[in-house]
């Protein structure tokens, strides 16, 4: 038999159930607020972390361009960091802490370091999570950049200005020690030490050219003679890969021994040396391998072969730019180094129609010519005063092999 419950009992039960529902609703709201706080604060922390990662990446990449100079790399990385005063400081990421270190990675030759590691951290203030006792969250980022990053196959022609001014001081006085030429030799040796001879082939061209390959180490017989002979040899060492033995240079190799014995003398003509270097790359370079020309000169072009087209003689600097442009159009990466262009009170910077003639018309300086000959702004290096060239050659070697961010966690 069904018996109706008393009205008072039904009312009591309803009040009890409504009270339980209210408690559940409060619990649900608190939980929802907690989740919302978590989502908002987590989203903000993620945003901060991405900003932190971007600045770490920028700092590591910038620092890697200074390798293998560990001190310079660390300094540049700090300069590009997100820390206070850094170029990538952000208002939304205050008080960033940055640590920078250098190391060796096994993915490429290392002498003495080939990678830079940037670690950054920041403390993020929470918006809602502090209600639950979480007032801050620490976020961090790490970036590693290498240079060189791998032993990339390359065919490289070094083009050396070994003119008489390379054996003079900045005032044009004779320097029997040939300090500038020795600095160039040292730089090229450093360059070779950073390469991998098994896959990176290197040759050498000189200006003025040698009367013959056999006479590549004898003094230039006359400052203009070899330019005016069609039989003269600009490429004195063809592309080769025997310049290393293990982790050291092969002193008896054709390339290293020629760098050691080259003598200074003569005047300056850019264009034909570049033409011949490019011809060597095309004649003996490997297919599907990046071609590179590294061109060093300590002054303006001021001569052209007597048998060459008029532009070679009348505009020797501009013809150098034209010859380099032709090489670049063939896919060759061109690096140029201007060395002590301020010599002779800046006279070394003046392009001339002939060594004793009027300035080239329209006017152009050696600095302008060498910068235009390079593939881009980053491929032109200026050493305005006499000094060592090792760092510049190291940077070119590393940049040619590639600078990039890497995951070094498995190294």
DSSP string of 246-302, one letter each residue: TTEE-TTSHHHHHHHH----S----HHHHHHHHHHHHHHSPTTSEEEEEEEESS---
37 and 169 belong to one structural domain: no
Q: 325 and 266 in one domain?
A: yes
Q: Same domain for 321 and 382?
A: yes
Residue 40 has pLDDT above 80, yes or no: no
Q: What is the mean pLDDT of the chain?
A: 86
Can you tell me the distance from the alpha carbon of 150 to that of 402, in angstroms, rounded to the nearest whole number?
7
Q: Is the pLDDT of residue 124 over 60?
A: yes
Better-scored residue on pLDDT, 158 or 111: 158
134 and 161 fall within a common domain: no
Q: Tell me whether residue 49 is in a domain.
A: yes
On whether both 73 and 207 belong to a single domain, the answer is: no
The whole-number average pLDDT for the span 1-6 is: 50
Q: Is residue 393 part of a domain?
A: yes
For range 240-269, the mean pLDDT = 94
Residue 1 belongs to some domain of the structure = no
At 99 the pLDDT is 96
**Residues 355-374, mean pLDDT to the nearest whole number:** 91
Q: What pLDDT is stored for residue 132 in this prediction? A: 64
Domain membership of residue 4 (yes or no) is no
Q: How many Cβ atoms sit within 10 Å of the Cβ of residue 163?
A: 26
Average pLDDT of 345-373? 89
Residue 5 domain flag: no
Best-predicted range by mean pLDDT (123-127, 262-266, 272-276): 272-276
pLDDT-based confidence at residue 33 (cuts at 50, 70, 90)? low
Does residue 402 or residue 116 have the better pLDDT?
116
DSSP string for 160-203? EE--GGGGB-TTS-B-TT-HHHHHHHHHHHHHHHTS-TTTEEEE
126 versus 79: which is more confidently predicted? 79
Where among 146, 162, 185 does a domain terminate? 146
What pairs with residue 288 in β-bridges?
none
State both tokens at 195. 């390469």
Window from 37-46, 57-66, 122-131, 155-164 with minimum mean pLDDT: 37-46
Query: Do 138 and 198 belong together in one domain?
Result: no
* CB distance 276 to 220 below 8 Å: no
Angle at 333 between CA 332 and CA 338, to 5 degrees: 125
Q: Is residue 294 part of a domain?
A: yes
pLDDT value at 67 more than 70: yes
Residues 131 and 163 in one domain: no
What number is the average pLDDT over the span 272-300? 97
pLDDT greater than 60 at residue 7: no
The count of structural domains within the chain is: 2
158 shares its domain with 129 = no
Final residue in a domain of this structure, among 125, 146, 167: 146
CA gap 154, 333 in Å, rounded: 10
Burial grade of 39 (CB within 10 A; 0-12, 13-18, 19 or more): exposed
Between CA 146 and CA 149, with CA 147 as vertex, the angle to 5 degrees is 70
Confidence of residue 28 (pLDDT cuts 50, 70, 90): low
CATH at 285: 3.40.50.410
Digit-coded pLDDT (tens) for 141-172: 999 998 877 768 999 999 999 999 999 998 98
Considering the domain architecture, whether residues 338 and 199 belong to the same structural domain is answered as yes
What pLDDT, on a 0 to 100 scale, did the predictor assign at position 15?
A: 52
Note whether residue 349 is domain-resident.
yes
For residue 349, what are its two tokens?
């910077």
Domain range spanning residue 142? Answer: 16-146
Query: How confident is residue 128, by pLDDT bands cut at 50, 70 and 90?
Result: low
Write out 15-63 in H/E/C secondary structure: HHHHHHHHHHHHHHHHHHHHHHHHHHHHHHHHHHHHHHHHHHHHHHHHH
Which residues partner with 136 through β-bridges?
A: 125
When pLDDT is averaged across residues 360-379 and rounded to a whole number, the result is 95
One domain for residues 209 and 272: yes
Asked if the model's pLDDT at residue 20 lies above 50, the reply is yes
Distances (CA, A) of 22 to 17, 32, 63, 294: 9, 15, 61, 80
pLDDT at 17: 54
Confidence (pLDDT) at 354: 76
Mean pLDDT for 215-238 is: 88
| Among the ranges given (122-136, 216-230, 382-396), the one the predictor scored with the smallest mean pLDDT | 122-136
Reported confidence tier of residue 227, pLDDT bands at 50, 70, 90: very high
What pLDDT sits at residue 344? Answer: 84
Boundary of a domain, candidates 146, 176, 211: 146
Reported as a pLDDT band with limits 50, 70 and 90, residue 1 is very low
* pLDDT interval class at 397 (50, 70, 90): confident
Portion of the chain with pLDDT greater than 90, in percent: 57
């Amino acid at each position: 038999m069904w018996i109706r419950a008393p009205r008072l009992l039904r009312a009591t039960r309803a009040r009890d159930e409504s009270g339980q529902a209210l408690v559940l609703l409060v619990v649900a709201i608190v939980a929802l607020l907690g989740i919302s706080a978590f989502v908002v604060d987590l989203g903000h922390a993620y945003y901060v972390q991405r900003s932190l990662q971007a600045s770490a990446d920028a700092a590591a990449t910038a620092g890697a361009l200074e390798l293998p100079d560990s001190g310079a790399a660390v300094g540049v990385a700090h300069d590009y960091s997100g820390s206070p005063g850094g170029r990538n400081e952000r208002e939304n990421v205050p008080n960033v802490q940055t640590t920078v270190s250098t190391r060796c990675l096994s993915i490429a030759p290392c002498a003495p370091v080939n990678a830079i590691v940037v670690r950054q951290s920041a403390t993020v203030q929470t918006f809602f999570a502090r209600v639950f006792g979480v007032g801050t969250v620490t976020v961090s980022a790490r970036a590693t950049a290498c240079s060189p990053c791998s032993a990339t196959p390359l065919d490289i022609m070094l083009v050396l200005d070994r003119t008489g001014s390379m054996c003079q001081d900045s005032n044009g006085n004779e320097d029997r020690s040939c300090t500038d030429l020795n600095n160039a030799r040292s730089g090229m040796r450093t360059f070779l030490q950073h390469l991998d001879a098994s896959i990176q082939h290197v040759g050498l061209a000189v200006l003025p050219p040698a009367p013959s390959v056999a006479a590549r180490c004898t003094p230039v017989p006359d400052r203009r003679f070899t330019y005016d002979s069609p039989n003269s040899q600009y490429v004195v060492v063809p592309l080769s890969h025997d310049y290393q033995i293990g982790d050291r240079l092969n002193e008896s190799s054709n390339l290293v021994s020629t760098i050691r014995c080259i003598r200074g003398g003569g005047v300056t003509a850019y264009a034909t040396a570049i033409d011949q270097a490019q011809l060597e790359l095309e004649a003996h370079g490997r297919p599907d391998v990046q071609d590179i020309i590294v061109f060093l000169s300590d002054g303006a072009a001021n001569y052209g072969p007597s048998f060459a087209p008029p532009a070679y003689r009348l505009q020797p600097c501009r013809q150098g730019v034209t010859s380099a442009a032709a090489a670049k159009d063939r896919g060759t990466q061109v690096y140029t180094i201007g060395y002590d262009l301020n010599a002779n009170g800046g006279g070394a910077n003046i392009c001339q129609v002939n060594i004793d003639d009027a300035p080239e018309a329209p006017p152009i300086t050696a600095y302008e010519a060498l910068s235009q000959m390079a593939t881009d702004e980053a491929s032109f290096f200026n050493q305005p005063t006499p000094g060592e060239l090792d760092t510049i050659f190291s940077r070119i070697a590393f940049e040619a092999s590639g600078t990039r961010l890497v995951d070094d966690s498995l190294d």
